């Protein structure tokens, strides 16, 4: 069995030798031209003139294109793939993110106004600078919390409001009643900071138009190439059979590389106009500004407790950022991926939430690793933490009293979703032992007596991973079918190529999908190669996002391999003159049970393609495809505990320890799993302590445009991690696997935040807006000190 083993990654050597193949590395027979963009320097302005005259004749310039040219060409817009209706039943007040400004108004810094295509990068930049654009600045608002204030400028005045949509979920009356009868009510204002994925590979696109054969090719840093092909039918109107989308090696995605960003169709448009392949390589500044941002919810939460600290109900009111426009998947974040998960790992009888999506003059928001769940977990857990302190109950003890007991699974939350399997008390007990909780509390008390501030943070939660099934996700708003696809092609020599509709950009599918396939096919893992990321080679795919690949594409590999085995067994049975049921397949051989009669897998494969001596109804060839629609989402769960030290002088936070105990069901490769958890944790820690897509609240200027201002964690900022697990099988897929890609990211912001608050509670600090930078912690302590005087 390969599944369950820490098989070293089969894709590693090319990366380690510098032979990775990213979009920027690709060369073609023709010289590749460069694209450069003119972007709005204003958060909100009328564009009164775009004069390209000087740029057009400059050296090396091949094309200069504006929004007027886009309109004249009759091109379209980005498709919202997850539209959600307003609770009134009306459509949301959707304004899709434009590719290039066509209506004379720019609504956030960085919006594209014009494009230049030139022979080299310097010439493209020179010509872009030579384009004269006149702007008339308009009042702007970049702050989500202010979006619905009466005097706030409107981003889209035609709608008469900055509200995109309102949705309510849960048990309103029961929740109000719980708050009314509670022994104790905790209230916290819990904004979630605006962050961005900041993959180390910047976004990059290349477009090519083969005019002779009328075929188009796009190379893209994207996680879902078949969905990109769909996007192009709406943007440039290119039929799917005419377009090949290739997503080669991609340097990190995290959900952010899922969208039809403006530069993607513009680059292909530039190639069509200039009759040359055209590439754009994003600079870090362009990416920190133009990559979708994430989170940015402003939430007020109230939680009701009884005398014993049992949670009676929880109520949230949230303003959820959209930014200046609706990015393609964003409506799902404030809805499908928010309300569904509000119960976390707790048995909460009444939950109610109201979400208002709002426009601001800021970069559009969309999914980033966790998408909706980091906010949700942070909000609920901040209430629990403060509630425990206010009631004088140990925070771990209070959580333990509220966990969903193992015997209640499958467990339907008050919001209606059903967690198929899990055992939160077991996770909590393992976490308690792993961190030696009582010793930590003793240490905390001893340090506090010396004037040193140590805090212990914790969270306990469920995730909703593995989007599908198709029907359930359609019901939650998805316009794309949430299944996935794999083909298993056995070559006549018995070696195997697997084609999968997922996309690996760090997840290690070449290893893990091969582990699954090798087990099902009874073959050596080295006899299998994987192909992903090419719409001309892979039949179909929905892509890698939302911790879904294993339970959809991985299961499609599993299913297609089983179909191959079933067919091969029929051929082998014919050749061995036995019944198919009498055959065993192992170690590359079909053996008749209880005998030494056998045939190699390769012999059967060869016969499948080349022998006329076969069952009459058995078609030639040995290749099967599965379009796998899972029976359910998967519901991984986890308990995290951390220790923070806050420097009483500088107020800098040292994250000293971090433990995570995960339930991700069946594990394919524990080494890969741990890597996913480590990486996710550090992104969540970054959100908690340092990351912020900050805007100047007055001018709307973007303040975090380089890695000198946008802080992502360095190696020195984080500890090594202590991981443990307690697995319960997922019921929605035969592998029993649950998605593991987001668990770290979604748990860490709340865990670290609770650690900091726990460290400072005795000083009167009750809440600090993330990121909890030294500046903000110092201010919070100062304010608390003043309040106590």
Partner 1 sequence: MAEASVTLTVNGREVSATVDPRTLLVHFLREQLQLTGTHVGCDTSQCGACTVHLDGRAVKSCALLAVQLEGADVTTIEGVGGPDEMHPMQTAFKENHGLQCGFCTPGMVMKGIDIANRHAAPDEATIRRELEGNLCRCTGYHNIVESIAAGAREMSG
Partner 2 sequence: MYPFTYHRPASLDDARARLAASEDGRPLAGGMSLIPTMRFRLSSCSDLVDLNAIDGLAGIERHEGGIRIGAMTRHAAVEASAEVREAIPALAALAGSIGDVQVRNRGTIGGSICFADPAADYPAGILGLGASVNTDRRSIAADDFFTGLYETALEDGELVVSVDFPVPERAGWAKFGNQASRFAVVAVMVSLAGGAVRLAVTGAKSHVFRVPEMEAALAADFSAEALEGIAVASEGLNEDLHADAAYRAHLVGVMAKRAVRAALAP
Using CB under 8 A as the criterion, which residues of the chain lie in contact with partner 2 when the complex forms?
Answer: 122, 125, 129, 285, 649-650, 652, 689-690, 692, 694, 703-704, 707-712, 717, 773-775, 778-779
Provide, rounded to whole angstroms, the least separation between the CB of residue 284 and partner 1. 4
16 binds partner 1 (CB under 8 A): yes
Interface pick for partner 1 out of 170, 207, 248, 251 (rule CB under 8 A): 251
Which of 1, 90, 158, 200 touches partner 1 (CB under 8 A)? 200
Question: Does the protein bind partner 1 through residue 307 (CB under 8 A)?
Answer: no
Q: Which is nearer to partner 2, 294 or 653 (CB)?
A: 653
Element (H, E) at 689: helix 670-689
Of 204 and 342, which has the nearer Cβ to partner 2? 204
Query: Residue 692 touches which of partner 1, partner 2, none (CB < 5 to 8 A by kind)?
Result: partner 2
Partner whose footprint covers residue 13, from partner 2, partner 1, none (CB < 5 to 8 Å by kind): partner 1
778 binds, among partner 2, partner 1, none (CB under 5 to 8 A by kind): partner 2
Q: Does 707 bind partner 1 (CB under 8 A)?
A: yes
Residue 490 beta carbon to partner 1: minimum distance, rounded to whole angstroms: 29
Q: What are phi and psi of 115, to 5 degrees?
A: -130, 145
| Residue 775's binding partner out of partner 2, partner 1, none, with CB under 5 to 8 Å set by partner kind | partner 2
CA-CA distance, 165 to 94, in Å (whole number)?
9
What is the dihedral angle through the alpha carbons of 536, 538, 541, 546, rounded to the nearest 10 degrees? -110
665 binds, among partner 1, partner 2, none (CB under 5 to 8 A by kind): none
Q: Which is nearer to partner 1, 212 or 708 (CB)?
A: 708
Give the interface size with partner 1 as a residue count (CB under 8 A).
60
Name which position in 457, 744, 755, 771 contacts partner 1 (CB under 8 A). Answer: 744
Establish if 265 lies at the interface with partner 1 (CB under 8 A). Answer: no
Spatial separation of the C-alpha atoms in residues 549 and 68, rounded to whole Å: 41
DSSP code string of 747-767: HHHHHHHHHHHHHHGGGT---
**Shortest distance (Å) from residue 279 CB to partner 1:** 11
703, interface contact from partner 2, partner 1, none, CB < 5-8 Å by kind: partner 2
Quick one: 281 or 496, whose CB is closer to partner 1? 281
In the bound complex, what is the minimum distance in angstroms from residue 124's beta carbon to partner 2?
A: 13
Read out DSSP for 658-671?
EEEEEE-BS-S-HH
Residue whose structure tokens are 């039949």: 539
Q: Which does 704 bind (CB under 5 to 8 A by kind): partner 1, partner 2, none?
A: partner 2
What stretches of 408-508 show up as alpha helix (H) in DSSP?
424-435, 437-449, 470-475
C-alpha torsion 364→365→369→372, nearest 10: -170
Look at residue 154 and give the partner it binds from partner 2, partner 1, none, a contact being a CB closer than 5 to 8 Å depending on partner kind.
none
Residue whose tokens read 């000190």: 785
Binding-site member from 25, 149, 536, 782 for partner 1 (CB under 8 A): 25
| 720 forms part of the interface with partner 1 (CB under 8 A) | yes
Q: CA of 83: how far to CAs of 147, 367, 466, 509, in Å?
A: 21, 14, 19, 30
| Least gap, CB of 548 to partner 2 (angstroms) | 32
Closest distance of CB 703 from partner 2, Å = 5
Taking the least distance from each CB to partner 1, the nearer of 170 and 684 is 684
Closest separation in Å from C-beta 684 to partner 2: 16
Residue 248 in tokens:
């080669």
Q: CB neighbours (10 Å) of residue 613?
A: 8
What token pair was written down for 526?
Answer: 């080295």
SS3 (DSSP) at 617: coil
Residue with Cβ nearer partner 1 (578 or 671): 671
Supply 419's token pair: 């967690």
Q: Which stretch binds partner 1 (CB under 8 A): 126-134, 144-152, 703-711, 750-758?
A: 703-711
Element (H, E) at 55: helix 53-56
Question: What is the per-residue binding string for partner 1 in 274-293, x denoting contact by CB under 8 A?
Answer: -------x-xxx--------
Contact 509, 497 (CB under 8 A): no
158 — phi, psi (to 5°)? Answer: -60, -25
CA distances from 42 to 46, 106, 243, 708 (A): 10, 8, 35, 21
Restricting to residues 661-700, which ones interact with partner 1 according to CB under 8 A? 671-672, 674-675, 677-683
Pairing verdict, β 351-359 and 163-170: antiparallel
Edge to edge, the sheet with strand 215-220 lists 61-66, 112-118, 33-39, 278-281, 204-210, 215-220, 243-246
> According to CB under 8 A, which one of 22, 135, 609, 778 is a site residue for partner 1?
22
Q: Return the residue of 81, 133, 188, 197 that touches partner 1, per CB under 8 A.
A: 197
| Residue 701 binds partner 1, judged by CB under 8 A | no
Six-digit token pair at 740?
Answer: 């593991």
Selection from partner 2, partner 1, none that 609 binds (CB < 5 to 8 A by kind) is none
255 or 494: whose CB is closer to partner 1? 255
716 touches partner 1 (CB under 8 A): yes
Examine residue 27 and tell whether it contacts partner 1 (CB under 8 A): yes
Length of the chain: 789
Q: How many CB atoms lie within 10 A of CB 715?
A: 6
202 interacts with partner 1 by CB under 8 A? yes
Residue 774 interacts with which of partner 1, partner 2, none, CB < 5 to 8 Å by class: partner 2
Distance of closest approach, residue 693 Cβ to partner 1, in angstroms:
15
Nearest to 761 by CA among 740, 737, 788, 736: 788
For 475, phi then psi, to 5°, come to -65, -30
Mention every residue, 6+ apart, whose C-beta is less than 8 A from residue 365: 194, 292, 293, 294, 295, 296, 321, 322, 323, 327, 330, 333
Q: Cβ of residue 540: shortest distance to partner 2, in angstroms?
A: 41
Nearer to partner 2, 137 or 783 (CB): 783
The one of partner 1, partner 2, none whose footprint includes residue 200, by CB under 5 to 8 A per kind, is partner 1
Q: Is 708 in the site for partner 1 (CB under 8 A)?
A: yes
Instruction: State whether residue 439 is helix, strand or coil.
Output: helix
Place of tokens 């108004």: 105
At 657, give phi and psi (nearest 5°). Answer: -140, 150
Burial 42-54 (b: 16+ CB within 10 A, else e): bbbbebeebebee
Binding mask 208-247 for partner 1 (x = CB under 8 A): ----------------------------------------
Residue 24: burial class (beta carbons within 10 Å; 0-12, 13-18, 19+): middle
CA–CA separation, 303 vs 380, rounded Å?
8
Q: Does the protein bind partner 1 through residue 703 (CB under 8 A)?
A: no
Residues near partner 1, by CB under 8 A: 8-9, 11-20, 22, 24-25, 27, 122, 197-202, 249-254, 281, 283-285, 505-508, 671-672, 674-675, 677-683, 706-708, 712-716, 718, 720-721, 744
């Amino acid at each position: 069995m390969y599944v369950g083993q820490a098989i070293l990654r089969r894709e590693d050597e090319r990366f380690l030798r510098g032979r990775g193949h990213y979009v920027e590395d690709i060369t073609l027979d023709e010289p590749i031209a460069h694209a450069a963009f003119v972007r709005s320097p204003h958060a909100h302005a009328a564009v009164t003139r775009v004069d390209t005259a000087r740029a057009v004749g400059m050296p090396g310039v091949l094309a200069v294109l504006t929004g007027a040219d886009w309109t004249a060409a009759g091109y379209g817009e980005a498709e919202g793939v997850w539209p959600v209706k307003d609770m009134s039943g009306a459509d949301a007040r959707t304004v899709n993110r434009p590719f290039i400004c066509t209506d004379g108004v720019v609504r956030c810094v960085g919006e594209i106004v014009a494009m230049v295509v030139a022979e080299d990068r310097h010439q493209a930049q020179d010509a872009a600078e030579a384009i004269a654009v006149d702007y008339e600045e308009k009042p702007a608002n970049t702050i989500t919390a202010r979006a619905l204030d009466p005097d706030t400028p409107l981003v889209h005045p035609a709608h008469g409001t900055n509200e995109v949509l309102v949705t309510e979920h849960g048990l309103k009356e029961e929740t109000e009643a719980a708050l009314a009868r509670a022994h104790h009510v905790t209230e916290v204002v819990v904004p979630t900071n605006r962050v961005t994925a900041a993959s180390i590979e910047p976004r990059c696109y290349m477009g090519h138009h083969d005019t002779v054969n009328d075929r188009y090719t796009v190379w893209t840093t994207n996680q879902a190439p078949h969905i990109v092909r769909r996007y192009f039918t709406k943007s440039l109107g290119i039929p799917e059979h005419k377009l090949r989308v290739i997503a080669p090696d991609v340097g990190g995605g995290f959900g952010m590389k899922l969208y039809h960003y403006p530069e993607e169709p513009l680059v292909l448009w530039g190639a069509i106009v200039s009759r040359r392949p055209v590439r754009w390589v994003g600079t870090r500044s362009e990416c920190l500004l133009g990559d979708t941002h994430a989170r940015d919810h402003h939430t007020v939460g109230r939680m009701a407790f009884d005398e014993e600290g049992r949670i009676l109900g929880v109520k949230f009111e949230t303003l959820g950022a959209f930014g200046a426009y609706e990015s393609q998947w964003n409506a799902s974040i404030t809805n499908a991926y928010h309300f569904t998960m509000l119960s976390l790992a707790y048995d909460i009888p009444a939950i109610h939430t109201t979400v208002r999506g709002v426009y601001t003059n800021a970069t559009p928001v969309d999914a980033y690793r966790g998408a909706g769940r980091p906010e949700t977990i942070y909000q609920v857990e901040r209430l629990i933490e403060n509630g425990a302190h206010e009631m004088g109950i140990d925070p771990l003890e209070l959580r333990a009293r509220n966990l969903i007991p193992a015997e209640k699974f499958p467990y339907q939350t008050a919001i209606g979703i059903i967690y198929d399997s899990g055992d939160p008390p077991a996770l909590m007990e393992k976490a308690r032992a792993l961190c030696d909780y009582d010793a930590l509390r003793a240490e905390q008390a001893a340090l506090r007596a010396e004037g040193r501030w140590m805090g212990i943070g914790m969270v306990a939660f469920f995730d909703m991973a593995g989007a599908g099934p198709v029907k359930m996700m359609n019901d939650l708003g998805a316009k794309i079918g949430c299944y996935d696809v794999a083909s298993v092609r056995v070559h006549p020599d018995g070696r195997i190529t697997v084609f999968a509709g997922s996309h690996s950009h760090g997840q290690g599918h070449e290893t893990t999908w091969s582990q699954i396939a090798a087990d099902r096919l009874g073959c050596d893992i080295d006899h299998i190669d994987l192909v992903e990321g090419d719409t001309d080679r892979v039949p179909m795919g929905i892509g890698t996002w939302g911790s879904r690949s294993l339970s959809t594409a991985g299961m499609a590999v599993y299913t297609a391999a089983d179909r191959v085995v079933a067919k091969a067994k029929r051929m082998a049975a014919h050749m061995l003159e036995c019944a198919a049921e009498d055959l065993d397949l192992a170690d590359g051989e079909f053996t008749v049970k209880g005998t030494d009669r056998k045939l190699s897998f390769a012999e059967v494969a060869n016969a499948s393609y080349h022998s006329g001596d076969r069952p009459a109804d058995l078609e030639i060839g040995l290749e099967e495809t599965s379009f796998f629609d899972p029976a359910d989402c998967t519901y991984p769960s986890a308990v995290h505990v951390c220790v923070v030290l806050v420097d009483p002088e500088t107020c800098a936070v040292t994250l000293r320890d971090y433990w995570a105990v995960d339930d991700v069901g069946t594990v394919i490769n524990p080494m890969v799993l741990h890597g996913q958890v480590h990486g996710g944790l550090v992104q969540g820690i970054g959100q908690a302590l340092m990351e912020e897509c900050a805007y100047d609240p007055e001018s709307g200027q973007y303040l975090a445009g380089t890695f000198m201002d946008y802080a992502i964690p360095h190696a020195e900022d984080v500890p090594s991690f202590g991981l443990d697990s307690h697995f319960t099988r997922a019921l929605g897929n035969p592998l029993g696997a649950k998605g593991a890609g987001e668990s770290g990211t979604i748990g860490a912001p709340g865990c670290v935040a609770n650690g900091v608050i726990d460290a400072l509670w005795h000083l009167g600090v009750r809440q600090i807006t993330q990121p909890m930078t030294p500046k903000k912690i110092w201010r919070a302590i100062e304010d608390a000190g003043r309040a106590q005087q």
